[in-house]
Amino acid sequence: MLTKAPLLVIFLHLIDRIPLPAGDGKRQRGRPYEYSERLIVKALIVMVIRRLYTAYSLLAFLEQETELTSALRPLLSEGGRFPARRTWERRLAALPAHLPGLIGCLGRHLTQLIQPWDMAGKAAAIDSTALRAKGGVWHKKDREAGIVPHSTIDTEAHWSKSGYHGWWYGWKLHLACSAAAVWIPLAAQLTPANVADQEVAPALIGQLAPDIRFVLGDTHYNEPAVRLACEQQDRSLIATHKGARPKIDPGAPVRQLFHRLRSKAIEPFNALFKNLFDWGGQVPVKGLLRTQLIVLGAILLYQLVLLYQFEHQLPLGRAIKPLLKAA
């Protein structure tokens, strides 16, 4: 007879042990929070794994009388009290602003534990990937006229174009991950699709561990602001050159090597991540804050899975989809 705790319960216990980013030292206005941020993160992990995208659906799930929900309810309580629905709604709506810091903090912790660059130079790859908005698309002529022709359109999303995806309406997931045999998400942000990669890159770079020396990007990151962000943190930006390349370029072979290293890390991870959560078509929610909550929550969940695999001496980054289905 199996007596091991359910995987979802194990993941929630992991949240009690992960590091959280230090606050800015400023006292928040209004009443202090009655429930800790760890508790809200636990609820988010349950929502992502069980595909519950509202506080109402989370509470409806927890009301079911099963062995799993009986084990979960105490973990989602503090001081013998369980938050009311309105409290869950308010705190989950405020969580997206904190998720990039949580992801960066846990990413630094994972690199210290796993040591993915034990036999190689310490490098991180950065890129963005397309996520299509739920519902219909808001065509340019209708947007300019202020007309929303269908209620399914997510008006907070936007248009963008890439060489691989062509035009798409939705969001950009901006990511930094380890350029190593183990793909570890190190930093993440989600924006409307029209936000340029180089605008978000300095924030991603600022979340990287101090000992990461190389930042690998494509042409979009070969910008003065991104290069300055790297130089200020004693990192080297290696990005594809813009425009025509010179016939004689001594640095070309080295950049080609780094570019191959980057393409074998960030691009496969982006495809893997979307496949794990079946987001190759559309994201499951509407609105910027809700999309940030679920997508960035999924990145945090991926990091927790790596931590679980490391602590249980399982192959890192392998068989994650069946593992999540078992949870």
Buried b (16+ CB within 10 A) or exposed e, 299-313: bbbbbbbbbbbeeee
Question: Last residue of some domain: 68, 97, 126?
Answer: 97
Look at residue 157 and tell me if it is in a domain: yes
The reply to whether 219 and 252 lie within a common domain is yes
Q: Which of 97, 123, 145 is the last residue of a domain?
A: 97
Q: What's the pLDDT score for residue 24?
A: 45
Shared domain for 127 and 246, answered yes or no, is yes
Is 153 found in the same domain as 260? yes
What are all long-range contacts of 217-221, with beta carbons under 8 Å and residues at least 24 apart? 217/125, 217/126, 217/127, 217/262, 218/127, 218/259, 218/262, 220/196, 221/126, 221/197
**15 shares a domain with 74:** yes
Q: What is the pLDDT of residues 28-71, one digit of tens each?
A: 666 678 899 999 999 999 999 999 999 999 999 999 999 999 99
Predicted local confidence at residue 189, as pLDDT: 98
pTM of the model: 0.92
Same structural domain for residues 116 and 195? Answer: yes
Contact 168/130 with Cβ under 8 angstroms? Answer: yes
* Distances, alpha carbon 88 to alpha carbons 41, 42, 290, in Å: 11, 12, 13
CA-based max dimension of the chain: 71
Does some domain include residue 2? no
Q: Are residues 89 and 105 in the same domain?
A: no
Is residue 294 in some structural domain?
A: yes
Residue 62 in any domain: the answer is yes
Q: How many CB atoms lie within 10 A of CB 175?
A: 26
For residues 267 and 281, state if they share a domain: yes
- The identity of residue 59, as a single letter, is L
Quick check: is 1 in a domain?
A: no
- Total number of domains in the chain: 2
> Does 144 lie in the same domain as 51?
no
Say if residue 26's pLDDT is above 60.
no
Q: What is the pLDDT of residue 29?
A: 65
Residue 22 has pLDDT above 70, yes or no: yes
Q: Are residues 149 and 34 in the same domain?
A: no
Which residue range forms the structural domain that includes residue 42? 7-22+30-97
**% of the chain at pLDDT higher than 70:** 89
* Residue located via tokens 């002529």: 141
How much is the pLDDT for 44? 98
Judge if 63 and 196 occupy the same domain. Answer: no
10: amino acid identity, one letter: I
Bridge partners, 178 (sequence order) = 124
- Tens-place pLDDT, residues 301-327: 999 999 999 999 999 999 999 999 988
- 135 and 155 Cβ atoms separated by less than 8 Å: no
Q: Among 54, 75, 97, which residue terminates a domain?
A: 97
- Looking at the fold, whether 67 and 207 belong to one and the same domain comes out as no
Find tokens 């991540």 and name the residue: 273
Same domain, 163 and 244: yes
In this structure, is residue 125 part of a structural domain? yes
Please report whether residue 134 resides in a domain. yes
Would you say residue 277 lies in a domain? yes
